[in-house]
Amino acid sequence: MSAPTQQAWLAAHPYLEAIAKLQRAIDEAGAAGNGAGVAEPRWDAYAPDFARGVPLLHSAAAGFDPAPAAADALRRIVDRLAATELPEALAAEVRAVRDRFQASPDAPLHTVRALASGTEGEEVSPAVLGYLGWAALQHALAPVLSAYAKWRADDQWDRPICPTCGTAPVLAQLVEEGAGRRRLLSCGRCHTKWGWKRVACPFCTTEVPEKLGYLDIEGEGGFRIDICDNCKGYVKTYAGEGNDAFMLADWTTLHLDVLARDRGYERKGASLYEL
């Protein structure tokens, strides 16, 4: 099944238009630098950590630091949103973040470093700051993620957590491979995709067929919801073709999270959105 265009998807899901507008502003501001100045990791030095299951952003050996570029992107994003018409509650939060950055010039760098290392605490707990910080990191990481995918092309990362940032997946994709289909998990924070078992829960790792299933949803552009009755987790799974970046953006299918929750399942993957 071919993917719908972004215009067609938003027309069919008009309640997503507000977040689509927000995301466009974020992407336009964040893409201005697009990872400029971010050196590739030292792949050979990182290899032992990779073999032990250490995500790229958590490895000191990799010598990889996207934080300065991400901090610059975060400043641009916050400045852009502060000048954009937004719902009042969100606008107030963005202004508070902008004021904090103006009062403390090092705050953007501290924010993205905490997010990337997984050590974020109270200083980045507001939802809007985590959301904007990861949006900035996505732009800083984008060029390196392509090189990382090529480096680990044989999929020796046989784990259900993201090989870049270490968080649990929120989405999956089924792609054609030979006579069948291969399953890729997708991170909702940094947008990394990686191969994993076709029939297994990415949260509790059960492979018992009777515990695994899916909710088939008509009219949702090739999406279904893979469910586990052992841990009650789920992943939104894209079985369509094309327009991957948009269809796997997480925010485009927030309504499927609501549907899964209403059926008694829990979102166990990292979320940047408050449902």
183 and 229: one domain? yes
Question: Is residue 186 predicted with pLDDT exceeding 70?
Answer: yes
Q: Report the DSSP beta bridge partners of residue 224.
A: 216, 237
Q: Does some domain include residue 238?
A: yes
Can you give the pTM of this predicted structure? 0.91
Q: Does some domain include residue 239?
A: yes
Residue-number span of the structural domain to which 78 is assigned: 31-151
45 and 137: one domain? yes
The number of angstroms, rounded, from the C-alpha of 272 to the middle of its chain's C-alpha atoms is 8
Last residue of a domain, one of 116, 151, 186: 151
Question: Is residue 136 predicted with pLDDT exceeding 50?
Answer: yes
**pLDDT tens digit sequence for 159-184:** 999 999 999 999 999 998 877 889 99
36 and 147: one domain? yes
A 10 A CB-CB count for 199 gives 11
How far is the C-alpha of 9 from the C-alpha of 152, rounded, in Å?
A: 33
39 and 147: one domain? yes
- Under 8 Å between Cβ of 1 and 222: yes
Residue for token pair 């790229």: 56
**Residue 214 backbone phi and psi in degrees, to 5:** -155, 155
Q: Does some domain include residue 2?
A: no
Tell which residue, 258, 205, 268, has the closest CA to residue 234. 268
176 and 145: one domain? no
Q: Does some domain include residue 87?
A: yes
What one-character DSSP code corresponds to residue 126? Answer: S
**pLDDT tens digit sequence for 203-223:** 999 999 999 999 988 888 889
65 and 111: one domain? yes
SS3 174: strand
Q: How far, CA to CA in Å, does 47 sit from each of 3, 53, 65, 152, 165?
A: 36, 10, 17, 10, 16
In the chain, the number of structural domains is 2
Q: Write down the pLDDT at residue 179.
A: 76
Query: Could you tell me the two tokens for 270?
Result: 């990292």
Tell which residue, 124, 188, 193, 189, has the closest CA to residue 152. 193
**pLDDT tens digit sequence for 112-133:** 999 998 876 545 445 788 899 9
Last residue of a domain, one of 122, 151, 180: 151
**pLDDT tens digit sequence for 46-81:** 999 999 999 999 999 999 999 999 999 999 999 999
Last residue of a domain, one of 99, 116, 151: 151
Q: Does some domain include residue 166?
A: no
108 and 214: one domain? no
Q: Does some domain include residue 133?
A: yes
143 and 184: one domain? no
Using pLDDT thresholds of 50, 70 and 90, give the confidence band for residue 275: very low
How far is the C-alpha of 92 from the C-alpha of 34, rounded, in Å?
A: 27
Q: Write down the pLDDT at residue 121.
A: 57
Q: Does some domain include residue 64?
A: yes
130 and 201: one domain? no
How much is the average pLDDT of 175-194? Answer: 89
How far is the C-alpha of 25 from the C-alpha of 27, rounded, in Å?
A: 6
Q: Does some domain include residue 62?
A: yes
38 and 137: one domain? yes
186 and 127: one domain? no
147 and 199: one domain? no
